[in-house]
């Protein structure tokens, strides 16, 4: 499985967390999700945490999906 990369994050004055992927806004976290994100980011791999928060991470089935008739 590949390693997550290309993510960055910014905390706004309002407490919102903006997560960007390759320079484009991927998601905005507010309230409880934002505070949970800040706690998790301090204890784990930042890139992996941001990938999970945005839903942009590999699930391990990419090779099988490539063979599916709809993806040909």
Question: For residue range 47-63, what is the model confidence (pLDDT) as tens digits?
Answer: 889 988 888 666 555 56
Which pTM does this prediction carry?
0.71
Are the beta carbons of 66 and 13 closer than 8 angstroms?
no
Determine the Cα–Cα distance for residues 46 and 23; give it in Å rounded to an integer. Answer: 16
How is the beta sheet containing 17-21 ordered, strand by strand? 7-11, 17-21, 24-29
Other CB atoms within 10 Å distance of the CB of residue 26 = 19
- Given a cut of 90, is residue 2 above it in pLDDT? no
**Per-residue pLDDT reduced to its tens digit, 7-64:** 999 999 999 999 998 889 999 999 999 999 999 999 878 988 998 888 866 655 556 6
Q: How confident is the model at residue 1 (pLDDT cuts 50, 70, 90)?
A: very low
């Amino acid at each position: 499985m590949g390693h997550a990369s290309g993510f960055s994050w910014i905390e706004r004055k309002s407490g919102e967390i903006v997560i960007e992927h390759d320079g484009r806004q991927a998601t905005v976290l507010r309230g409880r999700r934002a505070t949970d994100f800040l706690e998790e980011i301090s204890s784990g791999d930042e890139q992996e945490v941001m990938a999970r928060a945005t839903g942009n991470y590999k699930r391990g089935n990419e090779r099988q999906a490539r063979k599916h008739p709809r993806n040909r």
